[in-house]
């Protein structure tokens, strides 16, 4: 992977890059069975905006980007519709997305009055705590946690994935991607532990919520949820660091860093130790794509 003068760099130099890089969570990619239905659902139920839509007939898919703010500053959901496929298996590994809102009770009423999403947990405080939450399910079966929270620059606030070894995952995301462990919480009465990983505080940005269920080391991931994309200032240096960390903790590089044919956006992609896919995108190239 390393070329020229970069070859043979000591590990500590390679692993210094993720600490300096200005990474940012860009979007989560997943598959839906009816794109127009889901767009209508998210705009009506959650108040998201349709940011852009593109059809790629030669590859037989259409995708749509939805979120609460422009993609050059905010996280987005990238919905993918593959021609003729109306159903996917979400599996047991993907957990939920989360939306922060100032009035979850009111948001739940809006969702109930729509015909597309349903409330699966009524609004109310979390057990043993004061934070008000609710859960909603979209037409494809994806779960959304609704979290009552004051004004935030990023309402699309979590992607929850289940992992088989929480300490290993925390170490992987810290070392390979420069994420910070923002919070860790063990809930022994319900036999799970969570870790919030991200690049800024939970009320300011989108975080990964990694969940470990006691004794469960592996999950069926289905074929619905695809990946999360993260912006980086240098895909080549980032890929070097990821490759080094995968040798220690597991996971693997899927696509060596370089430009995408046609687009020229530089990316690299890899699997984490649990097999969750991450795509790293050159941030300057990403911004060019948008404008």
How many CA atoms, within 13 angstroms, populate the side-chain half-sphere of residue 82? 10
Number of domains in the chain: 1
Q: If residue 148 lies in a helix (H) or strand (E), which one and from where to where?
A: strand 143-148
Whether 30 is covered by a domain: the verdict is: yes
Whether 136 is covered by a domain: the verdict is: yes
Per the CB < 8 A criterion, the answer to whether 197 and 180 are in contact is yes
Give the Å distances, CA to CA, from 257 to 52, 227, 235, 236: 26, 17, 6, 6
Give the Å distances, CA to CA, from 76 to 65, 79, 173, 250: 6, 9, 20, 28
First to last CA, the chain: 31
Mean pLDDT over 14-23 rounds to 97
| Residue 114 predicted with pLDDT over 80 | yes
Contacts of 62 (CB under 8 A, 6+ apart): 35, 53, 54, 55, 56, 80, 81, 83
Whether 13 is covered by a domain: the verdict is: no
Is 145 annotated to bind ligand? yes
3-state secondary structure of 267: strand
Q: What is the pTM of this model?
A: 0.95
Q: In terms of C-beta density within 10 A (0-12 exposed, 13-18 middle, 19 or more buried), how is residue 143 classed?
A: middle
Whether 78 is covered by a domain: the verdict is: yes
Average pLDDT, the chain: 95
Per the CB < 8 A criterion, the answer to whether 195 and 183 are in contact is yes
Domain that holds residue 255: 21-290
Mean pLDDT over 9-13 rounds to 92
**pLDDT score of 7:** 56
Task: Name the residues annotated as catalytic.
Answer: 145
Whether 1 is covered by a domain: the verdict is: no
Nearest one of 143, 40, 33, 35 to 99, comparing CA atoms = 143
Mean pLDDT over 40-55 rounds to 97
d(CA 262, CA 106): 45
Whether 8 is covered by a domain: the verdict is: no
Is 96 annotated to bind ligand? yes
Contacts of 86 (CB under 8 A, 6+ apart): 33, 34
Binning pLDDT at 50, 70 and 90, where does residue 16 land?
Answer: very high
| Residue 4 predicted with pLDDT over 50 | no
Pair of tokens at residue 206: 């989108």
Q: Which residue has the higher pLDDT, 4 or 78?
A: 78
10-38: buried (b, 16+ CB within 10 Å) or exposed (e) per residue? eeeebbebbeebebbbbbbbbbbbbbeeb
| Residue 249 predicted with pLDDT over 50 | yes
| Residue 43 predicted with pLDDT over 50 | yes
Whether 15 is covered by a domain: the verdict is: no
Whether 2 is covered by a domain: the verdict is: no
Is 78 annotated to bind ligand? yes
**pLDDT score of 124:** 98
Pair of tokens at residue 252: 């693997």
200-229 pLDDT tens trace = 999 999 999 999 999 999 999 999 999 999
CATH of the domain at 198: 3.10.180.10
């Amino acid at each position: 992977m390393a070329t020229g003068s970069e070859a043979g760099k000591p590990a500590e130099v390679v692993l210094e890059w993720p600490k300096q890089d200005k990474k940012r969570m860009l979007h989560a990619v997943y598959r839906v069975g009816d794109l127009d239905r889901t767009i209508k659902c998210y705009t009506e139920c959650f108040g998201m905006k349709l940011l852009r839509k593109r059809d790629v007939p030669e590859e037989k898919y259409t995708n749509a980007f939805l979120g609460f703010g422009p993609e050059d500053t905010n996280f987005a959901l990238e919905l993918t519709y593959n021609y003729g496929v109306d159903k996917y298996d979400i599996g047991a590994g993907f957990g939920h997305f989360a939306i922060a809102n100032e009035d979850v009770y009111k948001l739940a009423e809006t969702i109930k009055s729509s015909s597309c999403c349903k409330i699966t947990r009524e609004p109310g405080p979390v057990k043993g705590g004061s934070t008000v939450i609710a859960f909603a399910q979209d037409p494809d079966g994806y779960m959304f946690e609704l979290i009552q929270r004051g004004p935030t620059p990023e309402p699309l606030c979590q992607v929850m994935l289940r992992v088989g070894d929480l300490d290993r995952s925390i170490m992987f995301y810290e070392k390979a991607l420069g994420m910070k462990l923002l919070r860790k919480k063990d809930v022994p009465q319900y036999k799970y532990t969570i870790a919030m990983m991200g690049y800024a505080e939970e009320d300011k940005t989108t975080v990964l919520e990694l969940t470990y269920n006691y004794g469960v080391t592996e999950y069926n991931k289905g074929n619905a949820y695809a990946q999360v994309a993260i912006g980086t200032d240098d895909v080549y240096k980032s890929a070097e660091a990821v490759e080094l960390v995968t040798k220690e903790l597991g996971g693997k590089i899927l696509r060596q860093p370089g430009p995408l044919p046609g687009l020229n956006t530089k990316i690299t992609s890899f699997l984490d130790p649990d097999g969750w896919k991450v795509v790293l995108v050159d941030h300057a190239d990403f911004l060019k794509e948008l404008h």
